[in-house]
Amino acid sequence: MLWLLIIIFLIPAAMAETNLTAGTGFSRLEQRFVLFEQDTISASNEGKFFIEGSTGKQYGNNKLKANAMLSAGTETFWGRTKGAWDWTGPNNLKLSSDLAFDVRQPYDTEDMPGYFKVAANSRIRKRWSDANGSVLVSFEDKKYTSESSYSYDYSLSRVRFDFGFPFIAEKDEFSVGYQFAFRYAPDTTGANYQRNNFYLGWQYFTGGHYYRADFEAERRVYNRGDLSGNHWRMFWDIDPRIALSDRLTLAPRFTAESYRYDLASSVYPNRDEYSLKAGAEWAFSPYLYCGLGPKFMLSKANLTESDNYNEYSLELSADWLKYRKIWVDFTLEPGVRSYSEEPAEEFSYYSNYAFVELNTMVSWWIKPRLRVDLIAMFSPEWHNDNEDDITTTYLSANLKYDFISR
């Protein structure tokens, strides 16, 4: 991994695209809750130093790219190298392939194991005058330094087919897709599965409006020797954007998700979740957009009380972007959740509660080559029973400097 960074340091000036960035950062994840009638804080902190380089060069119809990253932190070491090749052929034929290696090693492996991962992808695309198609083949292999019920060696193989074509007019596209995936875990055979995914999609641009609708059906079968965990999953997403004026855009959204298990139980309950947002967005300037919208979520499940609830919230958002100067993405969502049934004693922490979700991402270019990136998340919950209250906080800050950028 280090050898690729050294090469990037010494890249000749003739290379068309070369970047070298280094910086330092800090992250903190904290949860505050009550445990055995005592206020408890579970927190992890990590400082780090990182360096990342990338380069690319066009050779006729071929483009070669390479990327490498090293991160040495106070808790873990993380490294990644990636190489990619893009080829453009005749008659709108394109081929792209990439190969990536990841290694992550905590200094204290008792709480968190390290791992090594290799991932390879290859996609071929073809565009005709009024249609397009693609085939993706990918493979991933991940090995941990130690195993648990949450971390075990596995390999994942996938093949996906997609085809798109006009459906109503030239400005719309209807797409169909299919994917087959197989995960193999040699030491945890119960985690092996076969997965079949079926996709339908439609998008349409007209008169400043944008309409999008997606549907996905997934069939997953585990190698457990019984029906446990085998299920169908279905997901609908309707997301139009209707421009009422140059400044005002309506942005409602409806999603629905359903699980149907071959052998339903309290661990694997059949359930449905519906979400509806009545949003609107106002453009104060070409750089600043603000949104506001009430949201409603309904969850229904059999054989368990913990997944039966109604949720009401109000989402406020802002997006401020000036390229290579500042970018701020902000979301604030206060709300309440009420459960339809009184939960069993062992699930008493699923009591009605009020909550706030606050998420912020900031990128600020102090100078053209010097940038600060900040990610912050704050999520408190106030339950009917104060002992069920929980607050989650996450903060990540990075200072980056571009030594080479061309």
Q: What is the mean pLDDT of residues 211-215?
A: 97
Provide the pLDDT for residue 40: 61
Provide the pLDDT for residue 31: 87
Domain, as residue range, for 386: 259-399
Q: What is the mean pLDDT of residues 187-208?
A: 91
In the predicted model, what is the mean pLDDT of the chain?
90
Q: Phi and psi dihedrals of 228, rounded to 5?
A: -60, 125
In a domain, 49, yes or no: yes
**Tokens describing residue 384:** 């009917």
> In this model, does residue 13 exceed pLDDT 80?
no
For the entire predicted model, the pTM comes to 0.88
Q: Which of 73, 88, 103 is the last residue of a domain?
A: 88
Provide the pLDDT for residue 83: 96
The answer to whether 160 and 182 are in contact (CB under 8 A) is: no
Provide the pLDDT for residue 155: 96
Provide the pLDDT for residue 41: 65
In a domain, 378, yes or no: yes
Indicate the number of domains in the chain: 2
In a domain, 324, yes or no: yes
In a domain, 284, yes or no: yes
In a domain, 243, yes or no: no
The half-sphere exposure of 314 on its side-chain side, counting CA atoms within 13 A, is 2
Q: Long-range contacts: 177-184, Cβ < 8 Å, 24+?
A: 177/201, 181/156, 181/157, 182/156, 182/157, 182/158, 183/154, 183/155, 183/156, 184/154, 184/155, 184/156, 184/157
Closest CA to 116 of 71, 80, 63: 80
Q: What is the mean pLDDT of residues 30-38?
A: 66
In a domain, 65, yes or no: yes
In a domain, 137, yes or no: no
Q: How confident is the model at residue 63 (pLDDT cuts 50, 70, 90)?
A: very high
Taken in order 220, 221, 223, 225, is the CA torsion positive or negative? positive
How many angstroms separate the first and last alpha carbons of the chain? 23
> In this model, does residue 179 exceed pLDDT 60?
yes
> In this model, does residue 86 exceed pLDDT 60?
yes
Question: pLDDT, tens digit, for every residue of 140-161?
Answer: 999 998 877 678 899 999 999 9
Q: What is the mean pLDDT of residues 307-323?
A: 95
Beta pairing partners, 328: 320, 362
Closest CA to 201 of 180, 176, 219, 178: 176
In sequence order, what are the residues at sequence separation of 6 or more whose Cβ sits closer than 8 angstroms to the Cβ of residue 283? 246, 247, 248, 249, 289
Q: What is the mean pLDDT of residues 319-326?
A: 94
In a domain, 355, yes or no: yes
The answer to whether 235 and 213 are in contact (CB under 8 A) is: no
